[in-house]
A and B are shown apart, each in its own frame.
Chain A
Amino acid sequence: MPEKNVLSTGPMEGELVVIFKPDAEITATKKTVRSSKRLNVSSLNKTLKQFKVEISPVFHPKRSVAAMSRTMKAELKKSAVIPQAIFSLHSTQNIETLRQEFLRDSKVEAAYIKPYAEDPNINWGSPDFTANQGYLDAAPGGVDARFAWKLVGGKGDAVSITDVEQGFNFSHEDLRTKISGLIGGNNVFTSQNHGTAVLGVLGAAENSFGMTGISPQSKIVAISHNGLGTSQAIINAADKCKAGDIILLEVHRPGPAYDFKAPAGQRGFIAIEWWPDDFAAIRYAVLKGILVVEAAGNGTEDFDKEIYNQLPSGFPSGWKNPFNPANPQSGAVIVGAGASPSSADRTILGFSNWGRRVDAQGWGHNVATLGYGGAQNDKYVSINPNNNWTVESGFPKNLSDIGAGMKSGIDAALWSETNNKVYYFRGSEYYRVDPNNGWAIDGDYPKDIKGNWPGFPDSFTKKIDAALWSNTNNKIYFFKGNQFIRVDPNNAWKVDPGYPKPLAGNWPGFPASFAKGVDAAIYSFKNNRIYFFRNNRYIRVNPANSWKVDPGYPKLISSNWRNLPLVFRRGIDAAIYDKTNDKVYFVKSHDILYTNGFSGTSSASPVVTGALACIQGRLKARGKPLLTATSAQNLLRSTGSPQIRLSGAQEQNKISNWKGLNATFGSGIDAALWNGKSNTIYFFKGNQYVRINPTNNWNIDPTYPKPIEGNWPGFPDSFNNGVDAALWSDPNKKVYFFKGNQFIRVDPFNGWNVDPGYPKSISGSWPGFPASFASGVDGALWSHTNKKIYFFKGNQFIRVDPANNWQVDAGYPKSITPSWPGFPSDFASGIDAAVWSGTNSKIYFFKGEKYIRSDPGNSWKVDPGYPNIIAHQRIGNRPNLKQVFQNLDIASNWPGFPQSFGQGVDAALWSETNKKVYFFKNNQFIRVDPFNNWEMDAGYPKTISSSWPGFPRSFATGVDAALWSDPNKKIYFFKGNQFIRVDPNNGWKVDPGYPKTIASSWPGFPSSFANGVDAALWSGTNNRIYFFKGNKYIRVNPSNGWKVDPGYPNFINGNWRGIPASFKSGLSAVLWNGKSKNVYFFKNSQYLKIIPSNNWTMEPGYPRGIIV
């Protein structure tokens, strides 16, 4: 195999050293190389540019190389050291990929990565948090992304996901290699955590730290609706997508429930397809074959409510409510928020919208992803200026050590010499910390920048980039974008007149890039210089020299601040000079933040989106038709882990009879009340109540539920939570509430105030009440049919006659059964609540999540069709990728393989004659068609003896190896020390004279190979045949008398790159893929793929299971 001198694979980050072949005579400027021999270096320079590399000779051409004596050069040459050929490369991008690129160039002798290993803390990196990502796990808790990952394409390969929202942090350490920027709109910094978290769920990079996205191989694209509008952003996204790609709509907005306003947090916020232009934009994307996933919204709204059918003012007259499945549909997959397994798995979360239109659910809380903090917060390192500016051991540490209780995401910090305090700035807030008081936050902090820093321009009050105390003039400087302001602490901390000013022109010598803005700044009391940081570079300003930038700057942070961990070398967010002990602190925040608590339909939607990307990627890899909007919706609705109701039963795809009741009110209500004044019904649960309008199709009115407290004037505290029963009393037009052994009377015709003198004790006020009914009644109701009042308690009830001095009628209490015919047994043992409805003159009883309706006009019987569920809150099933893959027949890497072949194969071969692939196992074989999506041909497996004419009995079971030989168009089988040759052009018969011994026919075979081989391979790449035995292999050249090439046997290890240890000996079979020119190794139940054109290296993502 062709190979270069690879000295070390090394870790992913560090210094890349490249040694060029001496005769290429490579020299380098900062960003390019050239060859004195005029060799073509354009591809090298292209790579340098692509990876933003700075290249420099390890030995300076003039100061070092030219100055060497001849003797010295000769000695170095003896040691195989050519100093001028060695170069050091720095890049902020993936230097392992860069190394691979260089190794492909013929002018490169070697390329290796030197880890930064001067001090343990230099290697600090974020931990692996993937164990926190429960949504990746097996169903029903997770979507089983880990199953999908085992299959080719199952990581969302070649699928593009465009996230439509408004803020992202593209430099997050776990995202920076996946995405580089926005394709439209404004990047709103107040939403940066949000977008970063969403992208993390979808596609956080696969690496050893942080999180891993559900579909980590999908292409992540971001667009902001801020500045574009949602419909335009969707259209723009769709125009950049291909059919089968996915657009995720991470937005919601206030709907009609609260008159399109947001007076109560996010209550009433709904999915955006309800607005005609957004509907049209989604429809446009869907008709282009794009899957659109849409957050249901966090409004606690029932999409089946009547209010969504009502045409709002100014809407097109032909508009129809898209939440109603009977109307034209957008085709988007709408996602609701379900609970994670840690709390009532797959039940609807209280804030989520629901309804028949909602297609599927994802995790609506507890989602571990990038951004925010919580799982990992801001970090800092302490640098000792008196020890060559070296990071002290034991760092980085949590920034909370020097600012306990601060939120993560610090933007800037400064030491204030005026009051010996440290200030931290975070968004629109700031903290003041006292280093001389254990770094405690001073009282009343955080405070808003606005209003506390006089004269701050508005833009500086929302976020600043950097801040510093200048000891030269005792002023404080703040930096924001390309501007800065100067504050005078000795003049009431006011901004000096004339500010803000642009950086350009006011800080002499600032490079253009730094004049666009800086990340951090610090005044060093050690050397009276000011340092500015931007990305991975810094500059130094000398206030004593007209505030000019010192010569030689900018420099790489990594070059002069010793032992900084990698994430700090990429750039810092804030810097502080700690005057108390003469230390410099560098703060790293936004790029290393992780959370375990991302929530909302925000977090649910990317969970479903990532799952869809895994499906699309897998379908694409298998060459099958991709999901369309309709098939995706059908698939999500027909598979997955079912939604669970709070009762533990499965939710159904039904419309509620009491539309708009949320899950809380859908089970175990405390009391129900008929309002005879307005012909409405009230339900009470805990400290809330809802109002139902029977004349509006029994919908709950908008803005409900509301708290009891404050809305029912004069209620005693004890009645503000958990009333037992309520009733309308028609004879006196009053309303009664019961709680424990007390009751109150409310006058609907006196502002619903509680009448004076209440509460009163039930006992003594309601004549004839049995003792058991004098406390804790379950339900109460007025029956207009017979003008009586009923009370229920346990399995009994009593009847009160208001016309007879409110006395309990004779003969009561009675058992509910048999007095109330048709009561189900669970209702007969006790109800939760009861109500008379004047709308239809029926009585409703509630128990748990069910209700029944009795008809006093029909002998008080329970109406047919009852009991019913009080309220459905459909958010749909949680995706189950394993189940989906099985349903779509894409759950195996080698589709159709019998189970026995999935456990391992004896031999495999590519047959060029019919362009098929054969696998052998014991006495059977199967045939696979690479040109039919690698499906197994019908009718297989077959027995070897019945299908391969002339096979000796010993070869009819358990062959060791097989191969196609292109030079003579024959097929060879090996078993023990023998082999046979088959001629496909002669009826696939075994040639005469076979079997023969290997030793007699294959010249140069080592004896161990002659006694039997593990596997064999024809390689069309170099027209050679390979044999594998134990941990070694040999290579045969058919065009050189079929002799073994010199230098063999060789170890598998080291020559077939990137393969795991288990594949370095005892291979089961090796297969040439004549279609793709790649090679497959099989070992027991696993296989891997080798790319000969990539230096015979294993493709990332392998080994995989033959059958997963």
Chain B
Amino acid sequence: MSKVKFQKRITGNRLNLFLVSFSVKFFFNRFITKIFIVVFFIISEFQPVDGKICVTRNEISFKLQDMENFDAVQADETSELIVQFRPDSEIFVDESGNVISGKGADTGLINDLLKKHHATIKPIGSKLTTGKNKPSIEFPDFFVIRGKGNLEAIRQKLLKTEIVDSAYIKPPAEDPEFQE
């Protein structure tokens, strides 16, 4: 693992510990370096594989090597409620998962609805469709609502709001393997 990639894996106190150890390496003899290497591997061994690692697109190559992140799971595909808001309402979802209108439109009803049905909303999109690298591809702003509650009830109420242009439910996607 390159030093850069290793640093990316370390967060919080671990990063400090690593950097201190790294500095020590240049000032002590080879014996100390060996100790550093031991510390290095201890850190590596106990590195959690969950949320502490911030895997960015650049680190995918590293992640692909870690087969243990790909143990199979049981996760049934569920229906999704897809929503498009009126473009002039400039809707986005903040870090807390709340629907906000850049134009000050009332989104309280929508947020209450999501909360009531224990549903979450996320924008569908690409990093390339936002920011300065945005290509000249017209990509509609879709949002997906997921939850174990009644998506149809949410849909019906959303369609009655002024800022929702469209709302439809996509049934679960399945493998197109033919089964007798």
Contacts and interface: CB of A to CB of B under 8 A. Distances in A.
Contacts of A962: none
B79 to A, nearest CB: 9
Interface string A482-503: 0000000000000000000000
Contacts of A194: 175, 177
Contacts of B69: 181
Nearest to A458: B74
25 contacts: A165-B175, A181-B63, A181-B64, A183-B60, A188-B75, A226-B77, A229-B124, A230-B173, A252-B176, A253-B172, A262-B171, A269-B176, A276-B140, A276-B166, A277-B124, A277-B170, A280-B140, A288-B135, A315-B168, A317-B166, A365-B178, A517-B71, A599-B178, A600-B176, A602-B177
Interface string A516-545: 110000000000000000000000000000
A295 interface: yes
B10 interface: no
Contacts of B169: 260, 314
Interface stretch (B11-19, B96-104, B111-119, B125-133): B125-133
B65 A602 contact: no
B173 A253 contact: yes
Interface stretch (A202-210, A232-240, A754-762, A1000-1008): A232-240
Contacts of B88: none
A266 B74 contact: no
Q: Which 7 A-B pairs have the closest CB atoms?
A: A189-B72, A600-B178, A314-B168, A251-B173, A316-B166, A600-B177, A602-B177
A462 B177 contact: no
Chain B interface residue number, banded: 35 or more
Contact of B139 (A191, A252, A280): A280
Contacts of A166: 77, 173, 175
A284 B77 contact: no
B171 to A, nearest CB: 5
A254 interface: yes
Contacts of B159: 314
A170 interface: yes
B178 A266 contact: yes
Interface in B125-180: 125-129, 135, 137, 139-140, 142, 144, 155, 159, 165-179
Nearest to B77: A226
Given A231-B124, A513-B68, 9 more contacts: A188-B73, A192-B72, A194-B177, A235-B125, A239-B128, A266-B178, A283-B137, A516-B71, A599-B178
A171 B165 contact: no
Nearest to B140: A280
B77 A269 contact: no
Nearest to A598: B177
A811 B72 CA distance: 77
Interface string A1070-1089: 00000000000000000000
Contacts of A266: 174, 176, 178-179
B176 A250 contact: yes
Nearest to A459: B74
A350 to B, nearest CB: 9
B26 interface: no
A687 to B, nearest CB: 17
A463 interface: yes
B177 A314 contact: no
Nearest to B139: A284
A297 B176 contact: yes
A312 B128 contact: no
A1103 interface: no
A337 interface: yes
B57 to A, nearest CB: 8
Contacts of A680: none
Contacts of A186: 73, 75
A372 to B, nearest CB: 10
Interface string A177-193: 00011110011111110
B75 A227 contact: yes
B4 interface: no
Interface string B22-44: 00000000000000000000000
A376 to B, nearest CB: 19
Interface string B66-95: 111111111111001010100000000000
Interface in A239-293: 239-240, 250-254, 260-262, 265-266, 269, 272, 275-278, 280-281, 283-284, 287-288
A180 B32 CA distance: 36
B176 A298 contact: yes
A625 B170 CA distance: 37
Interface in A827-852: none
A1062 B98 CA distance: 71
A316 B84 contact: yes
Contacts of B176: 250-252, 266, 269, 295, 297-298, 600-602, 605
A167 interface: yes
A272 B135 CA distance: 24
Given A317-B166, A600-B176, A512 B46 contact: yes
B82 to A, nearest CB: 5
A253 B135 CA distance: 30
A958 interface: no
A277 B171 contact: no
Contacts of A272: 173
Contact of B70 (A181, A337, A517, A599): A181
Interface in A343-402: 349, 351, 364-365
A799 B73 CA distance: 68
A177 to B, nearest CB: 13
Given A226-B75, A481-B71, A512-B46, A235 B171 contact: no
B142 A280 contact: yes
A188 B14 CA distance: 33
A463 B173 CA distance: 22
A49 B1 contact: yes
Contacts of B64: 180-181, 183
A251 B77 CA distance: 12
Nearest to A287: B137
B139 A314 contact: no
B67 A180 contact: yes
A421 interface: no
A225 interface: yes
B65 to A, nearest CB: 6
A351 B142 contact: no
Nearest to A465: B71
Contact of A277 (B45, B67, B74, B82): B82
B178 A351 contact: yes
B124 A232 contact: yes
A313 interface: yes
Nearest to A517: B71
A190 B175 CA distance: 10
Contacts of B68: 513, 516
Nearest to A295: B176
B37 to A, nearest CB: 9
B106 to A, nearest CB: 21
Nearest to A32: B37
Nearest to A258: B171
B66 to A, nearest CB: 7
Contact of B137 (A227, A284, A517, A600): A284
Contacts of A295: 176
Given A276-B140, A599-B178, A187 B165 contact: no
Interface string A450-483: 0000000001001100000000000000000100
Nearest to B165: A316
Given A239-B128, A275-B168, A265 B174 contact: no
B159 to A, nearest CB: 6
Contacts of A49: 1
Nearest to B80: A229
Contacts of B72: 167, 169, 187-189, 192, 463
B174 A252 contact: yes
Given A181-B69, A231-B124, A602 B166 contact: no
Given A181-B63, A463-B74, A238 B126 contact: yes
